């Protein structure tokens, strides 16, 4: 009779890992790639990325992939090819005059083109992705005008992340066991069921919820450009959204340096990989053999390309199901600095509004919070270094609240007027 | 047993040379990779795919979490049995390392990157088919053929003949195959379904297809067909595109012969035996996809196989906590399967209702169906409304079905070793205490000085050590 107990019930559920959705955000910032063009040309990276995508699709029949370009002017899907939203009110289809119905014609066009180039030496799904992705990327690059480049030099990472999360959310709803239309209409039930595993303390509940999870998703950002401070708030908001949706964000940092993507990995449980710092086990094994450790380090820095596929396949390919049993690559200390809301500067000491927690790099001129408009009063002591304690031990962050003085008196702390 | 496990078991029995020959085809390498390997093994293979040096055991251990060592060992043993990885035999000072089999790695790389001239992903017809068959009709054909087989089996169960003989005509070859696989027995010229046959009926379509194909593979040897040819053609079929016509020009004689047999099962469609082109049906294109994935994400196979044809194709069974069962179906086949373990009492145009009773379940168990099969069938075909629950089936019903099963078997068999004829009481006490501490002690009788243990290796070394110590003293 011992065989009958509650724990047995969940075993009947299928043990196969759930399919996984990989959303790749490719940073296509032309400035960054032009700097990298001598060592790491975009075309080679795309070739490696395609092998990586194929490897992901090879793991499970139901695995899905989406690629989003984070360009300087827009964030755009590279795969799957976006379809015009409404057959009636489409503007993008003007290039294709013969088409009476953009929705159908567009997909047919691609399918026909692919059918014509059919060859028996490549698995068909792999070929379709390759062709669509390359066509869309070429399209995106050719549409970029010099004027576009002049107007903006940073990449639209926040927009791309938002697009990715929206896409993931939609796919999860479509995959849920119950009728998708029901869930789409009553999104409250979806939210409550999504929140359930997080709040449940009971281990069995969580386990069964995980086993019934129908789609695991993650985001991989291939980042080449730094300086995202201008998009601090939207980026952080997407990070929190990803955290709530339990979508890990992985980052492969090919060039540049961003503070916030590292925080994204840290708070969502993703992997932050900087090929110049991380050496895959292949290299480390040569190290243990005592064969020129300096060599491998140099190779990792100079020849990032050779190792790129290895980096992609080794730590970044396993989905979150497999990661339960794998040790993530050790990452360096995470930089938790924030950007101020007034000048988008990355600061390590700042002023925080006591009401809305906005961060400012300097005391505000009129004492009014720029975000919520609360009248703030800076105490007289703010910014003044007490003589008794050494500076290093002093608590760094000073809140602009609670004091009795007017903000005007605190101008001793040094207030350049906010521009 | 899931479909992939069955196929895996079959592959593991093959010799290394057969497997290596099989791996020459990129489509086979890809299919085996996707279909047969445990999830962790896939990730290990992918990590190793582009490494230029063997993957040392120490590095592998550093990558796997300590609490996942069981899965790692499992993954590695499957990989080794399939001859996908091998240990590198370096002189002892070098650390143990693994490397991928050259053939497998090369084929998998080729599958991922494309190129080569192996044509293993199917050769599409260059000219358009004048009267092309659409996906809907392909599904209809596949369903018709496959259900004919199932009808044949269900119809052979006693007392269910009426109304089932309609259109259930299957070829003699298939009948023979079903007998060879021990799904049906022929008694007095009439086929009788066996225990294996009942379990077969309750499996998922994808698992059923593989079960039958494995019987087919086993019979291929007798028919002088090349096993590697047959297998690699099956894996090629799995990578084909539904609704696309493929040319038969590049196929070997064995594969042409297979096309005939497979069209009997509904796996491929040909207009006639001489047709120059063939269409894979959904049964073929889902061969190399995961059964679990099919269950949740790919409802298309089930829609292809569910004769109701209604929009609601995900599942049709609702079980209530009071053991009542409602099945939204009008398919005779599904009703017949349900009737194996349910007491059905009312039938409406689109609904049958019934009750799971002790008699009905125990009748099924007497036929050789297990409680787990019943539960997994009900879970797999749960109505979307019921599928929302966690767990899907009401726990009371699940527990009761299991209880009804174990009511029948009051004895539990444990394989192990009986140790007897102890010389002294202290020797006996010493041994049982040690066995107990190891957790292998199943039963003991102090008066007769008898011990029963489930494992003996450690115990025998312990006893041998004690004996030699006693001799030395």
| Residues B30 and B158 placed together within one structural domain of the fold | no
Residue B130 lies in a domain: no
Query: Could you tell me which of A132, A125, A126 has the C-alpha nearest to residue A80?
Result: A132
Q: Is B439 helix (H, G, I), strand (E, B) or coil?
A: coil
> C-alpha distances in angstroms, A408 versus A357, A379, B403?
21, 10, 80
| Residues B146 and B272 placed together within one structural domain of the fold | yes
Average pLDDT over residues B338-361: 91
Cis (ω within 30 of 0) for the bond into B437?
A: no
Residue B125 lies in a domain: no
Residue B293 lies in a domain: no
| Residues B398 and B428 placed together within one structural domain of the fold | no
| Residues B421 and B380 placed together within one structural domain of the fold | no
- The ipTM value here is 0.71
Of B120, B290, B379, the CB nearest to A61: B290
Average pLDDT over residues B67-96: 79
Take residue A206 and report the two structure tokens written for it: 């969580």
Residue B292 lies in a domain: no
Q: Could you give the percent of chain B with pLDDT greater than 90?
A: 8
- Tens of pLDDT, residue by residue over A66-117, are 999 988 888 889 888 877 655 443 344 333 333 333 333 344 444 444 444 5
Hey, are the CB atoms on A325 and B65 less than 8 Å from each other? yes
CATH number of this structure's domain A11-88+98-177+212-323: 3.40.50.410
Which residues fall within 8 angstroms of residue A216, CB to CB, at 6 or more apart? Answer: A17, A18, A19, A20, A21, A319, A320, A321
Residues of chain B with Cβ-Cβ distance to A124 below 8 Å are 121, 239-241
Average pLDDT over residues A38-43: 83
- Tens of pLDDT, residue by residue over A3-38, are 444 444 444 344 567 788 999 999 888 888 888 888
**Contact yes or no for A159/A238 (Cβ under 8 A):** no
Of A15, A58, A124, the CB nearest to B34: A58
Note down the domain range covering B58. Answer: 3-113
| Residues B108 and B142 placed together within one structural domain of the fold | no
Hey, are the CB atoms on A16 and B289 less than 8 Å from each other? no
Residues of chain A with Cβ-Cβ distance to B53 below 8 Å are 282, 285-286
The H-or-E segment that residue B326 falls in is: strand B324-327
Average pLDDT over residues B130-141: 80
Instruction: For Cα atoms B61, B62, B64, give the angle at the middle one, nearest 5 degrees.
Output: 65
Answer with the one of B49, B82, B113 that is the final residue of a domain.
B113
DSSP annotation of A224 reads -
Query: Could you tell me which of A229, A225, A223 has the C-alpha nearest to residue A347?
Result: A229
- Tens of pLDDT, residue by residue over B186-243, are 777 777 777 788 878 877 777 788 888 888 888 887 777 888 888 888 888 888 887 7
Indicate whether A258 pLDDT > 70.
yes
- Tens of pLDDT, residue by residue over A215-252, are 888 999 988 887 677 888 888 899 999 998 889 999 88
Q: Closest residue of A to B60, CA-based?
A: A281
| Residues B399 and B320 placed together within one structural domain of the fold | yes
Hey, are the CB atoms on A310 and B292 less than 8 Å from each other? no
| Residues B153 and B209 placed together within one structural domain of the fold | yes
Hey, are the CB atoms on B63 and A121 less than 8 Å from each other? no
Give the range among A23-27, A125-129, B271-275, B337-341 with minimum mean pLDDT.
B271-275
Residues of chain B with Cβ-Cβ distance to A317 below 8 Å are 43, 46-47
Residue B402 lies in a domain: yes
Instruction: Domain ranges for chain A, please list them.
Output: 11-88+98-177+212-323, 340-419
| Residues B175 and B148 placed together within one structural domain of the fold | yes
| Residues B32 and B85 placed together within one structural domain of the fold | yes
| Residues B24 and B155 placed together within one structural domain of the fold | no
Residues of chain A with Cβ-Cβ distance to B296 below 8 Å are 14, 18-19, 175, 177, 214
| Residues B326 and B373 placed together within one structural domain of the fold | yes
Answer with the one of B81, B113, B145 that is the final residue of a domain.
B113
Residue B147 lies in a domain: yes
| Overall domain count for chain B | 4
Take residue B356 and report the two structure tokens written for it: 């799971």
Output phi, psi for B69, to 5 deg: -65, -30
Indicate whether A318 pLDDT > 70.
yes
Output phi, psi for A346, to 5 deg: -80, 120
Answer with the one of B365, B380, B408 that is the final residue of a domain.
B408
| The predicted structure's pLDDT at residue B355 | 94
Which residues fall within 8 angstroms of residue B89, CB to CB, at 6 or more apart? Answer: none
């Amino acid at each position: 009779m011992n065989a009958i107990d509650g724990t047995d019930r969940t075993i009947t559920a299928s043990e196969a890992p759930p399919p996984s959705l990989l959303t790749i955000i490719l940073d296509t910032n032309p400035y960054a790639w032009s700097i990298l063009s001598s060592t790491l040309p975009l075309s080679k990276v795309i070739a490696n990325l395609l092998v990586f995508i194929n490897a992901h699709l090879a793991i499970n029949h139901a695995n899905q992939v989406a690629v989003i370009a984070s360009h300087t002017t827009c964030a755009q899907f590279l795969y799957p090819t976006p379809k015009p939203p409404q057959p009636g009110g489409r503007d993008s289809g003007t290039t294709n005059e013969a088409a009476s119905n953009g929705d159908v014609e567009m997909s047919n066009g691609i399918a026909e083109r692919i059918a014509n180039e059919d060859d028996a030496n490549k698995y068909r799904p792999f070929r379709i992705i390759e062709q669509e992705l390359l066509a869309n990327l070429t399209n995106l690059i050719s549409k970029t005008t010099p004027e576009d480049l002049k107007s903006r030099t940073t990449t639209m990472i926040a927009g791309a992340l938002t697009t990715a999360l929206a896409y993931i959310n939609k796919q999860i709803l479509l995959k849920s066991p119950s009728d998708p239309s029901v869930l789409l209409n009553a999104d409250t039930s979806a939210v409550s069921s999504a929140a359930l595993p997080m709040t449940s303390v009971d281990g069995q509940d969580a386990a069964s919820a995980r086993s019934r999870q129908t789609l695991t998703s993650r985001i991989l950002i291939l980042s080449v450009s730094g300086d995202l401070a201008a998009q601090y708030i939207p980026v952080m908001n997407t990070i929190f959204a990803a955290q709530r949706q339990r979508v890990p964000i992985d980052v492969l940092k090919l060039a540049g340096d961003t503070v916030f993507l590292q925080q994204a990995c840290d708070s969502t449980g993703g992997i932050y990989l900087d090929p110049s710092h991380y050496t895959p086990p292949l290299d480390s094994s040569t190290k243990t053999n005592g064969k020129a450790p300096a060599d491998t380090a140099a190779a990792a820095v100079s020849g990032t390309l050779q190792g790129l596929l290895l980096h992609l396949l080794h730590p970044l390919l396993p989905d979150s199901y497999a990661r339960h049993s794998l040790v993530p690559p050790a990452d360096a200390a995470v930089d938790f600095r924030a950007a101020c809301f007034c000048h988008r500067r990355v600061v390590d000491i700042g002023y925080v509004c006591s009401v809305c927690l906005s961060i400012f790099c300097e005391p505000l001129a009129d004492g009014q919070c720029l975000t919520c408009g609360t009248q703030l009063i800076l105490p007289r002591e703010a910014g003044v270094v007490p003589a008794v304690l050494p500076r290093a031990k002093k608590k760094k962050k000073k809140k602009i609240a609670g004091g009795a003085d007017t903000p005007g008196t605190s101008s001793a702390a040094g207030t350049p007027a906010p521009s | 047993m899931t479909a992939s496990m069955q196929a895996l078991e079959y592959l593991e029995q093959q010799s290394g040379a057969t497997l290596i020959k099989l791996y020459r085809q990129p489509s086979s390498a890809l299919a085996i990779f996707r279909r047969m390997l445990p999830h962790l093994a896939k990730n290990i293979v992918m990590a190793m795919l582009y490494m230029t040096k063997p993957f040392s055991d120490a590095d592998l251990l550093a990558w796997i979490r300590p609490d996942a060592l069981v899965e790692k060992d499992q993954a590695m043993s499957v990989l080794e049995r399939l001859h996908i990885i091998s240990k590198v035999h370096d002189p002892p000072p070098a650390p143990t390392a693994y490397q991928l089999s050259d053939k497998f790695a090369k084929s998998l790389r080729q599958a991922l990157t494309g190129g080569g001239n192996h044509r293993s992903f199917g050769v599409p017809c260059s000219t358009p088919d004048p009267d092309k068959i659409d996906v809907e009709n392909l599904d209809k054909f596949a369903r018709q053929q496959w259900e004919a087989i199932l009808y044949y089996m269900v119809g052979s169960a006693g007392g269910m003949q009426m109304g089932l003989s309609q259109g259930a005509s299957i070829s003699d070859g298939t009948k023979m195959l079903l007998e060879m696989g021990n799904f049906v027995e022929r008694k007095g010229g009439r086929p009788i379904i066996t225990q294996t046959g009942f379990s077969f009926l309750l499996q998922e379509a994808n698992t059923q297809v593989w079960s039958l194909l494995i019987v087919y593979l086993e019979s291929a040897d007798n028919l002088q067909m090349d096993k590697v040819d047959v297998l690699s053609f099956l894996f090629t079929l799995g990578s084909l595109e539904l609704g696309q016509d493929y040319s038969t020009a590049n196929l070997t004689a064995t594969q042409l012969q297979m096309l005939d047999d497979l069209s009997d099962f509904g796996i491929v469609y040909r207009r006639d035996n001489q047709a120059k082109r063939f269409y894979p049906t959904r049964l073929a294109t889902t061969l190399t996809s995961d059964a679990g994935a099919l269950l949740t994400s790919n409802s298309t196979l089930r829609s292809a196989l569910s004769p109701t044809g209604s929009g609601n194709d995900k599942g049709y069974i609702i079980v209530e906590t009071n053991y009542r069962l409602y099945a939204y179906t009008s398919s005779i086949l599904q009703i017949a399967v349900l009737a194996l373990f349910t007491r059905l009492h009312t039938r409406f145009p689109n609904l049958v209702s019934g009750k799971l009773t002790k008699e009905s379940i125990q009748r099924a168990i007497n036929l050789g169906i297990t409680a787990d099969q019943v539960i997994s069938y009900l879970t797999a075909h749960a109505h979307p409304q019921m599928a929302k629950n966690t767990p899907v089936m009401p726990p009371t019903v699940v527990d009761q079905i299991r209880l009804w099963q174990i009511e029948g078997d009051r004895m539990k068999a444990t394989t192990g070793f009986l140790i007897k004829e102890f010389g002294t009481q202290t020797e006996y006490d010493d041994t049982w205490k040690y066995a107990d501490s190891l957790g292998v002690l199943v039963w003991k009788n102090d008066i007769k000085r008898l011990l029963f243990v489930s494992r003996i290796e450690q115990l025998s070394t312990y006893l041998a050590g004690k004996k030699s110590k006693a001799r030395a003293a």
